[in-house]
Structure 1
Amino acid sequence: MIIFEADRARKKIDGINILHDISLCISRGEKVAITGHNGSGKSSLLKLIGGFYENTSGQVKRIMSKTGYVPEHFPENIRFKMQEYLLLMGKMNGKSESELIKRIQIYAEIFAITDFLNTPLKNCSKGTKQKAGIIQALLIDPDILLLDEPLTGLDEATQVELLNELASYKTGLTIVFTAHETLLIDGLADRVITVANGRIIADEKKEIKEKYRCIKAIVPNQTIALEIPSIHIHYLEEHTVEITVLCDHSDEVLTKLLESGCSIVELIEKR
């Protein structure tokens, strides 16, 4: 099902054309990366897709009732605690408080930020704020999720965590994002649109590459797991851990676990 279609659409601001002859279709469930140099028109195209920009000429058709949008920079100095902010944003979109509280708890678990729900947003890291931004967008049950440079300024560990959470969130959700990081493009996108000087110069389908692995292991003690170079460690039980590592490092990690007397239970490929 096509949810966005443009035919020779243009956008002009203050007499200057910022988008030229945009023709494309986006279908439900696609994961689309928009790439290009700074100033190429990536963010402008994202805003045209989401309806934040209306076309000056040409044809644009949107078949989506709700759009979730996460800007590149989370607003500074918000005085609310994270849960207060998420409740406010959800209520502004007609959701009940009881429903929101349940869903916020679920998303907080998915995005691993439960411990920060009662923390003032101004005291949270950029990565945590970015996750809060994504959650507020998901709370409205969007047909499409638009992300403007979602990995900018995040360390590698947080980038991989966020990538995994987005990739595994749910099927059927259309995600369109601007990016220049190969990690996000390779790990999430099934289609890559390249923009230059406000024009689409390439539009290609692609295979999503597996970027990291999840190792489930039984460890003699938790200290061993803490010494392993990993992206994320999750304790399932006292002696059972799930360790997320980059694919390039997985052989090294497996060797260290075995040398430390650990038992490997399961090895899972992840995007």
Structure 2
Amino acid sequence: MTEGSVTRAAEVLAMTQPAASHALKRLNAWLGEPLFQRSAVGMTPGARATALWPQVRAALQDLERVLAPGDFDPGRDAAEFRLAMSDASAGVLVPALVAAVEREAARADLRVAPLTTRDPRTLLHAEEADLAIGYFPALFSAMLAEGERSLLRHVRLHQTPYVCVMRPQHPLAEQELTLERYVQAHHVLVSVSGRAYAEVDEALARLGRRRRVVLTVNQYHLAGRVVAQSDLLTVLPHSYVTGSVPGPVVVRPLPVEIGPLTVDMVWLARRDNDPAHRWLRERVLGAGVFS
């Protein structure tokens, strides 16, 4: 109902694609009609599947609750948690999480992996991560479209505006950062994909302007180190500036309007009632480092 593909559904169920296709054919035969139809966007649910889904989903959630462990004692029960997040989020959150583990003498091991995608669904469904923490605009559009059918849950942790950052010795440090001065400068761009184009460039394009990006990197702290030693400008989330740039910096509002950075925690809905997973989510929320 949520994957739009027999192949992706098979991966989630830890089945081969032929086995999943065969199971679907048997289910269609048993019901006397096909549950899904092929379309330009993949496999879409038919009327029967749509009608059955609320009851099936509720039954699956009831089963998860029945099978979930009764409680979780962090000092007694060993657990390993895998978290996927950017270097900037990890730099803020991980020290606070480690402190929480030590305070509670928890037998919890944390495994932090870099987040290199704006869509963490594959990581979560493959159980390569228990939590994904980051900026996921496309994912939330998909979750909104899925409504109650969504297999994911999320909580907003933080929101911060983007700002322009430069070193104090930069020629523009003592001047107003106008649009003209901004586009004439050279820039370093933080890009997960490696593309030299971001939301700032989209905003500039709407004004018929463009800037010169001479360097792309995939980490905020690397952009910060470059800016601290050069006359390049960069764009960083305001709350990440201190941890990303070594030494003093000059921060200016951007001369174009773009949306803020939002940081969300995302997990599988079926983990909602898992006591160990709930303990982890509560520690992330309780860290208070994103406020």
TM over 0.5: no
Q: Which has the higher helix share?
A: 2
Specify the structure having the higher radius of gyration (Cα).
2
TM-score range, shorter chain: under 0.3
